[in-house]
Amino acid sequence: MDRADKTDTDEADMVNLSIDGKEVTVEEGTTILKAAQKLGIEIPTFCWHDKLEPVGACRMCLVEVEKMSKLQIACDTVVSEGMVVKTNTPQVIKARKGVLEFLLINHPLDCPTCDKGGECDLQNFVFRYGSDKSRFVEEKRRFIVDPKSKLDDLSISPQIIRNMNRCILCRKCVRFINQIAGENDLGTFRRGAKSEINMLPDIPVDNPYSGNVVEICPVGALTSQSFRYKIRVWQTEKVHTICPNCGDGCNITLWAKDDRVYRITSRRNDRVDEGFLCDKGRFGFEFVGLGGG
Amino acid sequence: MEKILFKYIDVPDQYEIDTYIKNGGYRALPKALKEYSPNDLIEMVKKSGLRGRGGAGFPAGLKWGFVPKDSPNPKFLLCNADEGEPGTFKDRWLIEKDPHQLIEGIIISSYAIGAHRAFIYIRGEFAFGAERLKNAISEAYQKGYLGRNILGSGFDLDLEVYRGGGAYICGEETSLMESIEGNRGNPRLKPPFPASVGLYKNPTVINNVETLSNVPHIVLNGALWYAKIGMPKSTGTKIFSLSGHVNRPGNYELPMGTPLRELIYDHGGGIKDERELKAVIPGGVSTPVLTSQLVNVKMDFESLFEAGSLLGSGAVIVMDETTCMVKVAYRLSRFYEHESCGKCVPCREGTRWIRMIMARIENGKGREEDIDLLLDICTNIAGKTVCPMGDAAVVPIMSTIQKFREEYEYHIKNKKCMVDLGTRFV
Ligand SMILES: Cc1cc2nc3c(=O)[nH]c(=O)nc-3n(C[C@H](O)[C@H](O)[C@H](O)COP(=O)(O)O)c2cc1C
Ligand code: SF4
């Protein structure tokens, strides 16, 4: 993902730009998003992920760039010398509000029973940038998996449950499986507003890294069987530790309460684990706290 | 004026290679290979002023010139035969009736950009056209116009037909490449542009069927000959696909800059049943509607832009006084919802929302605030999407509200159309 394709011995060319009036110098080939992060300026994103190729699909990171007539996506626009970026103008704020409104009109708003509540990007960004009124008076779209039970949930693997109604189609899950895990277990099916993320027909997701999609999902579209409906995240205690399953020693966080572990997530350490865990490390914690001692 | 692309369109066997050759075909190819270097050809096309006929009107020679000459990677030429823009049916004729004209254009263009592989991406519904092309391509191979060492020049080219699955979005150049590569037809982010990173990440030129069909004529008759036809900045002829409430719908090849009035009344035989003209969509449904006052506008890129619309693909849709513009906008909102690829949020969610509101208005359940809501949703889509399809999707809504707002208001208040639809299904 190093756009400039620099080797260690190359001296990187530096570029000066300003974001919201603050000057910053970054390496040539850096995106606006990365430059803003360097300055501590938050540009909200849904589909962007550090380790995945940018797709620019969510349009949440649109910013104003001087001399450009349209808003530009911060996640895939490379900086240039003297660039003047603004992340907080009325136009940018309107665009963000627009994206959030589009994402919410068909969203079930079932936060009270959603496992992602409290750590959901959609929830957090609406809280920060969204509107508290809805202009949508039509019937919401609903993906019904089983016409009899009218359930929204679909098991796409023994551990992973998909709820398409909460999905914002950032496709981080599909891209992770494809670009990092190197498989094709997940895909995007159909088109337009009917698009959905799914496993291949009748072939459940089956690869040793599949659990990462639950963690990567910015909303509650992909949740894990073992954590579902057990506890609210904010009622747990976080314990930072190392995965004991193999010699790799991936850095992990245990989410626990009263001596019981509810889930394990990655605690990204790029020198060890790149922020991803294998399913054994992520889901293999049932033995913890079971008697003995 | 003499036709260029349609000169032999009515000759029944023109699709056969012998007839094509008898009528002067495959004469530009040896000339291009023997007398000109690739660079000469790029300069020639630049000088001719030929602009893309797929919708955006980008200068063809300039696009060819963007292909890096020193790249060690293979280069590709793609012919866009997806012809998805509603109202457009010109490429179909060029393919079915004179496929060798297109193939000759593709060979010359490939030579100009240094491509040794070319694809014609044809929409799935054109089964007959795809057959015609495949037969024509094998004829061309047999005669040595395709394959190794074409006409002893040392230039090699393989040409294949690739059939799409019938998605509008696969006419967008980067989705088309994804589709050929076997992926989901979704647009890529630009930059990088196809000229440097295109098909299989290699330098690629993509041109419309009509654009490429012009190339042999430019080589045979010269850039200046071509540049003199039409308008100074919109040179050559244009095939207009005329449809709607006219007496003689069809494809008409006319010089760029021909007045709309002449197209509708002289060539199209005027409005059906002697009704009054009400509105015209001049360049396919992604271009803003014009009211009848603008019937004298010249049909070229600049004139239509000045008139507040676009030449687009040259699909002229004529609507008479019995047309309800709300119904037109509703119908088109269904098209865009159906064809949105779903990659980016504003287009995916916005086109569906717009269609739902349009359906309510059309069915007598509109609310006063819906018009402004529609306009605001359009603003939240336009200019904020991955590909130009988002901009296109809002065009019918915004332009009909802008020019026929009273019809929306009437619809909402009276729960029916303002116009008398007559007895005919519109
Ligand atoms: C949604 C969408 C659909 C398109 N469909 C077509 C099409 O069916 N045929 C076509 O030639 N160009 C189509 N285009 C334009 C192509 O992206 C591209 O600009 C064109 O093929 C370039 O050829 P030209 O320069 O010869 O016009 C479409 C563009 C968009 C955004
Ligand atoms: S604008 Fe529409 S068609 Fe284009 S990428 Fe976005 S969703 Fe797909």
Kindly report, residue by residue over B41-77, the tens digit of the pLDDT: 999 999 999 999 999 999 999 999 999 999 999 999 9
Residue of B353, B379, B384 lying closest to A59 (CB–CB)? B384
One domain, residues B202 and B247: no
Which amino acid, one-letter code, is at A183?
E
One domain, residues B215 and B252: no
In-domain check, residue A136: no
Which residue has 């136009």 as its token pair?
A91
One domain, residues B55 and B119: yes
Q: How far is B137 from B15, CA to CA, in rounded Å?
A: 11
Q: What pLDDT shows up at residue A12?
A: 76
Ramachandran angles phi, psi of A163, nearest 5°? -120, 100
Closest ligand relative to B383 C-alpha:
2
pLDDT band at B420 (very low <50, low <70, confident <90, very high): confident
Closest ligand relative to B174 C-alpha:
1
Closest C-alpha to A173, from A158, A152, A190, A156 = A156
How are beta strands A83-86 and A260-266 bridged, if at all?
Answer: unpaired
Give ligand 2 pocket residues (Cβ under 6 A): B 169, 187, 340-344, 347-348, 385-387, 389-390
pLDDT band at A291 (very low <50, low <70, confident <90, very high): low
Give me chain B's average pLDDT, please: 97
pTM of the full structure: 0.95
Give contacts of A191 with chain B, Cβ < 8 Å.
167, 169, 338-342
For helices B90-97 and B209-221, the axis angle rounded to 10 degrees is 60
Q: Can you give the CATH number for the domain in which A206 is found?
A: 3.30.70.20
B188: CB partners within 8 A, 6+ apart: B174, B175, B177, B178
CA of B9: how far to CAs of A102, B100, B237, B253, in Å? 48, 12, 15, 11
pLDDT band at A148 (very low <50, low <70, confident <90, very high): confident
Q: How far is B237 from B231, CA to CA, in rounded Å?
A: 9
Q: How far is A238 from A40, CA to CA, in rounded Å?
A: 25
One domain, residues A83 and A167: no
Domain boundary among B192, B227, B262: B227
Residue A222 DSSP symbol: E
Q: Distance from B315 to chain A by nearest Cα, in Å?
A: 25
Nearest CA to ligand 1 atom 5: B171
In-domain check, residue A116: no
Q: Can you give the CATH number for the domain in which B406 is found?
A: 1.20.1440.230
CA of B258: how far to CAs of A82, A261, B54, in Å? 46, 76, 19
Region of poorest pLDDT, from A114-118, A289-293, B188-192: A289-293
pLDDT band at A6 (very low <50, low <70, confident <90, very high): very low
Q: What pLDDT shows up at residue B422?
A: 58
**Contact state of A57 with B384 under an 8 Å Cβ cutoff:** no
* Domain enclosing residue B80, as ranges: 17-227
One domain, residues A246 and A200: no
pLDDT band at A11 (very low <50, low <70, confident <90, very high): low
One domain, residues B262 and B307: yes
Give me chain A's average pLDDT, please: 93
Residue of A71, A169, A193 lying closest to B383 (CB–CB)? A71
One domain, residues B139 and B257: no
In-domain check, residue B5: no
Q: What pLDDT shows up at residue B423?
A: 52
The mean pLDDT of A138-150, rounded to a whole number, is: 86
B357: CB partners within 8 A, 6+ apart: A138, B366, B370, B373, B374, B377
Domain boundary among B227, B246, B275: B227
Q: How far is B347 from B332, CA to CA, in rounded Å?
A: 14
pLDDT reading at B147 higher than 60: yes
Q: Report pLDDT digits (tens) over A217-265.
A: 999 999 999 999 999 999 999 999 999 999 999 999 999 999 899 999 9
Domain boundary among A204, A224, A244: A224
One domain, residues B364 and B388: yes
Residue of A69, A76, A193 lying closest to B340 (CB–CB)? A193
Number of domains in chain B: 3
Best residue of A58, A59, A184 to probe chain B, by most B CBs closer than 10 Å: A59
One domain, residues B94 and B215: yes
One domain, residues A97 and A50: yes
Closest-CA residue of A relative to B380 is A98
pLDDT reading at B204 higher than 80: yes
pLDDT reading at A293 higher than 50: no
One domain, residues B373 and B394: yes
Describe the strand order of the beta sheet including A251-257 as a list of residue ranges: A237-242, A251-257, A260-266
Domain boundary among A180, A199, A224: A224
Which amino acid, one-letter code, is at A33?
L
Q: What is the distance between the terminal CA atoms of chain A, rounded to a whole angstrom?
A: 46
The residue length of chain A stands at: 293
One domain, residues B26 and B139: yes
Closest-CA residue of B relative to A104 is B349
One domain, residues B263 and B313: yes
Give contacts of B383 with chain A, Cβ < 8 Å.
69-71
In-domain check, residue B4: no
Q: Distance from A285 to chain B by nearest Cα, in Å?
A: 37
For helices A90-105 and B345-362, the axis angle rounded to 10 degrees is 70
Residue of B342, B349, B386 lying closest to A56 (CB–CB)? B386
Nearest-5° Cα angle at B179, B177 to B181: 70
* Domain enclosing residue A209, as ranges: 142-224
Q: How far is A224 from B239, CA to CA, in rounded Å?
A: 57
Give ligand 1 pocket residues (Cβ under 6 A): B 52-56, 58, 80, 82-85, 168-169, 171-173, 206-208, 211, 387-389
